[in-house]
Structure 1
Amino acid sequence: MTLPTPPAPGLPTVPGTVAVVAPYADRGAYAHEIGRLGGMCVAVTLPDLALPPAYASAAVADDYRDRIVHTPGLRHTVKRLRRYGVCAVVPGGPLGVQLAERLAHQLGLPGGDPATSLRRRDRGAQAAALAAYQVSAVDSLRTLRLSQAVQWARFRQKSVYVVAAADTSVRGARVCRTTAEIRSAWRERYRAAHEEAGEPAMVIQDYVPGSQYVVHSVSRPGPDGIPEHLVTEIYSGDGQLMGRGALAHRTISLYTLRVLTALGVQSGFVRCRAAWPPGRGPVLLAARAYPHASGGPGRPDLGADPFRPYRYAAHSALSALPVTCHGDSHVPAVRP
């Protein structure tokens, strides 16, 4: 992957201020990458009482030019952001997706429709959205009740995943084959979902065999406002970067473009995890509408450079610069 390089001294830079909402785990990566492009970052943080218990001691890196504490209602925050003349509002982590979209909408900036925000931050809503758009998806159930989940799994008569619905929870999906395993996974993840997300809803979905892939993409409005999506890189389950000339790369990319459209993605970085079961095409397991860098080098969702996603996200936010990819040939942005 050939990454966009920062402007050299004496070359024009991209002016602009980007507001990053709830960047509690980015280690200043967004501010660093925006600064490399000649822009500036301000952080929008949530009041302490609005944070889930797991974020009680969360801190924002010192790299941000200013910190704006969001208060109930949008008026105060929007007024502060207008003073900075922000050109984009982006989520800095899972807690920032919904608020970033609401702020962007109020400021007249690119962003997803706040009315459909759940599609971009909830696994259950994502499966429903894909089904509505006739995009291949995993059969699943979003519920608050363990008994309902157990009943659904018995009806399916196959192995299932149990996972928190909200993408704010960091606990991964657990494969369960028996009712006892479902109950155990549910209790563990239910508690974690409350601590990490403040949202206890759970998703139980069919287990999908086969290879898994992590797909990174960026989106931005085209000249006439219709979003343009670009798959920047695909990693296999063992963390290997897939060559762009591979047939599988094209198949997964085209599927991802349909997913982004179904989820209502208008701008910014999105990370999708997809599976490719035998005898079937790719299916989405989950999507996250923000970059993430925890875990270190070698992770299949990060590649060799753990801050690479922020680099793409920064270029997408300061959309005067194109995002370019390496490969056997140039692959342009694709419109839905």
Structure 2
Amino acid sequence: MPLTAQAGSGAEDAWSRYWPSAIGGPLPWATGAPGRPSGAALHRDRGAQATAWSDTGLAAPLTHQAVTVAGALRWARSRQLPAYVVAPADTSAGVPARLCRTHGELGRAWRALRRTAGQDGYLVVQEAVPGVQYLVHSTTVPSPGGPWHEVTEIWAETRTAGAARDRLDWVPRSGLLFRALTYSVTKGLHALGVEQGRLRCRIANAAGRGPVLLSCRPDAEPLMPSPVGLHAMRVSLRPPPADGHLDGSGLRSLTALPTMSHLDSRLHPRAPIDRRTSPGEVLLRGGRRAVEADYRALRALERRGALYAGAEQ
């Protein structure tokens, strides 16, 4: 079974088998698709990242750079994997990856994302790696002995059945979980030739494989002070059932939650909302039980429709 992000659990000891791990030198890019990027371009190229990581002995998903939908489908049929992910190669594109369980879904996702990527963009098809996924934020600074990579924060991601983000849970710095993820990401940054700057890596814990590096991109999110002795949770509000706007009284109920720490700047009375996207994100911070209770209370407000008004049915 995949490990969880729960600190202090017995399963956490299992992470010791993945820390440290062997790593060798980088090998050339050789997929037959566009040439391997270098420098800053490599820091946001999903396909090149997967190759750089696997070539240096780190676990990474099976990856194919999709130049045509026919080529993407041929690759998928040759692999016969349980599920696939189709995404723009540019990890900074801001377009969510599509999870596909059939070749038909893969073809439709490829065509839709190809239009989004534009003529200058290309797509990658990857194996869908099962297990808990983590967002690992890092800062790299130059030093006399070479670049110094520091992991600043890690969040465990939970998604809905429809693959939308539900919540992110803070991973404490103590324990083997944080250390194992930090080790893998640090080696991954080294393999990408990162010399300075802030990056955010996505990494999965796959049963039997341990940490699997999925992608990396430049990080512009503000750093959050470490909630020492507390738990933190970033909750994505769910899209409303219909277009409308945020309700002032509903927002007051939201801000009255005991562990409410921060609201997305987009969340204000009369802010327009649509049924296709999340209105924004909130940060809960406090004791774990209190945070979980407020998470349930927030979802109850959504189910009652208390946050939204003026929706067009």
- Normalised by the length of structure 2, the TM-score is 0.55
Are the counterparts in 2 of residues 166 and 199 from structure 1 also a CA contact under 8 Å? no
Correspondence 1:161 to 2:85: yes
Within the candidate set 145, 150, 153, 1:230 is matched to: 150
Correspondence 1:208 to 2:129: yes
1: CA distance, partners of 2:121 / 2:141: 32
Correspondence 1:173 to 2:97: yes
Q: 1:140 to 1:299 in 2, by over 3 A?
A: farther
**Bigger RCO of structures 1 and 2 (CA < 8 A, at least 6 apart):** 1
Question: What is the DSSP-based 3-state SS (H/G/I as helix, E as strand, rest coil) of the residue aligned with 2:169?
Answer: coil
- Which stretches in structure 2 are left out of the alignment for 5+ residues? 1-36, 158-166, 223-232, 237-260, 265-313
Are the counterparts in 2 of residues 164 and 189 from structure 1 also a CA contact under 8 Å? yes
Q: Which aligned pairs between 1:1-336 and structure 2 lie closer than 5 A?
A: 115-158=38-81, 159-194=83-118, 199-224=120-145, 226-237=146-157, 238-292=167-221, 298=234
Are the counterparts in 2 of residues 210 and 278 from structure 1 also a CA contact under 8 Å? yes
Cα distance per residue 1:222-251 (max 9 Å; x no partner): 134x00010011001131111111211110
Are the counterparts in 1 of residues 53 and 60 from structure 2 also a CA contact under 8 Å? yes
Displacement after TM superposition at 1:306 (Å): 8.6
Number of equivalenced pairs: 185
Question: What is the DSSP-based 3-state SS (H/G/I as helix, E as strand, rest coil) of the residue aligned with 1:279?
Answer: coil
Question: What is the DSSP-based 3-state SS (H/G/I as helix, E as strand, rest coil) of the residue aligned with 1:142?
Answer: strand
2: CA distance, partners of 1:305 / 1:227: 33
Q: 1:274 to 1:306 in 2, by over 3 A?
A: farther
Question: What is the DSSP-based 3-state SS (H/G/I as helix, E as strand, rest coil) of the residue aligned with 1:126?
Answer: helix
Question: What is the DSSP-based 3-state SS (H/G/I as helix, E as strand, rest coil) of the residue aligned with 1:239?
Answer: strand
Q: 1:131 to 1:183 in 2, by over 3 A?
A: same
2: CA distance, partners of 1:246 / 1:239: 19
Cα distance per residue 1:1-32 (max 9 Å; x no partner): xxxxxxxxxxxxxxxxxxxxxxxxxxxxxxxx
2: CA distance, partners of 1:306 / 1:248: 29
2: CA distance, partners of 1:285 / 1:251: 15
Question: What is the DSSP-based 3-state SS (H/G/I as helix, E as strand, rest coil) of the residue aligned with 1:283?
Answer: strand
Bigger mean CA offset, 135-144 vs 213-222: 135-144
Q: 1:231 to 1:168 in 2, by over 3 A?
A: closer
Supply the AA of the counterpart residue of 2:129.
V
Q: 1:216 to 1:275 in 2, by over 3 A?
A: same
Which structure is larger by alpha-carbon Rg, 1 or 2?
Answer: 2
Displacement after TM superposition at 1:299 (Å): 5.2
Cα distance per residue 1:78-108 (max 9 Å; x no partner): xxxxxxxxxxxxxxxxxxxxxxxxxxxxxxx
Identity of aligned residues (%): 37
1: CA distance, partners of 2:156 / 2:173: 13
Supply the AA of the counterpart residue of 2:205.
W
1: CA distance, partners of 2:205 / 2:110: 25
- Which stretches in structure 1 are left out of the alignment for 5+ residues? 1-113, 308-336
2: CA distance, partners of 1:142 / 1:152: 10
Cα distance per residue 1:131-182 (max 9 Å; x no partner): 2212111110012111111011111111110111112322211111112101
2: CA distance, partners of 1:207 / 1:261: 24
Q: 1:291 to 1:152 in 2, by over 3 A?
A: same
Question: What is the DSSP-based 3-state SS (H/G/I as helix, E as strand, rest coil) of the residue aligned with 1:282?
Answer: strand
Question: What is the DSSP-based 3-state SS (H/G/I as helix, E as strand, rest coil) of the residue aligned with 1:298?
Answer: strand
- Indicate the structure with greater strand content: 2
Are the counterparts in 2 of residues 221 and 266 from structure 1 also a CA contact under 8 Å? yes
Question: What is the DSSP-based 3-state SS (H/G/I as helix, E as strand, rest coil) of the residue aligned with 1:240?
Answer: strand
Q: 1:236 to 1:168 in 2, by over 3 A?
A: closer
1: CA distance, partners of 2:73 / 2:207: 26
1: CA distance, partners of 2:262 / 2:120: 32
Question: What is the DSSP-based 3-state SS (H/G/I as helix, E as strand, rest coil) of the residue aligned with 2:140?
Answer: strand
Are the counterparts in 2 of residues 119 and 129 from structure 1 also a CA contact under 8 Å? no
